[in-house]
Each structure stands twice: as structure tokens, then as C-alpha cells.
Amino acid sequence: MSEEGRPSVATMRRYAWMNILTGFLVWGIALAGVSMMMPIMYGTISSDMGWSVTQTTSFMAIKSAVSAVGGLFAGGLIVKFGLKRVFVQSVVVVGVATLLLYFVRNLPVYYLLAALSGFASILSLIAVQVTLAKWYSASLGRMTGVAMLGGAAAGAIVPLATAYGLTHFGWHATSAFAGLVVLIFVTSAAIFLFRETPAAYGYTAEELDPGP
């Protein structure tokens, strides 16, 4: 602890990097990872379920539309319930919605899960962006870019992993496994690594990241 009873700057910067890691996992697994997985599975889903290509690919259209509308409510939800609560619960919903694809046998449930995933995804995305803005000042753009590298990592891993899952286990089990990954790894990071704001420790973003 410092003379003022606050954690040291080194400790605070470690907390900030924990948020970067959390953002990396959110972008890489819960957001980009799930979004990349679905188009790879569309052909198998359409064949297995007897749905048309349009019916099958409407999943992403519904998810995107709900995300666009959901973003309008993100600020109010964060103010009312708190940033961390919204963040953790939105990550959990993404994981559960992806996991529940295992039980899909009809289009209404398929579309409902798309809507839930879309709404939760935009909340988790905005929560990460708001958090980074609270922790970084001069290097906010660079640190946001580092967190977003999770999406690039997903691009290298998800297509291969999804193709393997489809070949050996089918799309239901592949979806369930992806949901479990979100629930175990991303939710754990959101609960245990995430730090909402440096103000809780008596610091500002400008103190921690003053720039040159």
C-alpha cells in the first residue's frame, strides 16, 4: 500500500492488465468466437434440421438486429444495476444461450437463442469498452486494440475447432462445448479478474496512464 493508503501504482496497472485479459477473452470467445462458429455450422444445421438456408442463416440476422436495439438500453442498465453486474450476467447469458443450442429442435427456440445471444453480446461488448475507458487515458486506443486481438486469435482457432467438432460430434455438441467454454473461462475472468474502476481504489485513469 502507498502512503495514502491506496494500492501502489504497479498494483493498479496489474489490475488494468487483468481487464485487458478479460476483454481479450470476451472478444475472442464470447463475441468473435461464437459469431465465427455459427456460419461454419450453417450447412450442417440446415441439413440436419431440414431447414432452408435462409431459415438457418437468419440466426445471425436476428442476433445482429437485437444487438443493435439492445445497445440503446446498455447505458441505462449499467447505471441502474452496475457495470460489473451487467457484465458478468451478460457473459453468462451468452454462454447459456450457446449451450442451449444443444437442445434446439425447432426454429422458434433457435431464433430465441439468437436474440438472447445478441442482446447479451452487445451488453458485454459495451461493458468492456466502458471499463477500459475508465482505466486508460493516453493509451486507451492501443489497449483497446490489444484486447480486441482476442478476435484475431479466434480467427485462427475457431474455424479449425468448429470443423473438428462438426466432423466428430455434430453441431449440437459443438455448440454445447462452446457454451461451456464461455461459461467456464470467460465468466471466471469476468468474476475474478475484472476490476470495474480505478476510482474504487482512489485513482483516476489520468494518474495511471498519463502518457508521455
pLDDT tens per residue across span 90-114 = 999 999 999 999 999 999 999 999 9
Please give the pLDDT value at position 167.
97
Please give the pLDDT value at position 3.
52
Please give the pLDDT value at position 5.
78
Tens of pLDDT, residues 55-72: 999 999 999 999 999 999
Q: Confidence band (pLDDT; 50, 70, 90) for 51?
A: very high
Helix axes 53-81, 83-99, angle to 10 degrees: 160
pLDDT (mean) for 144-172:
97
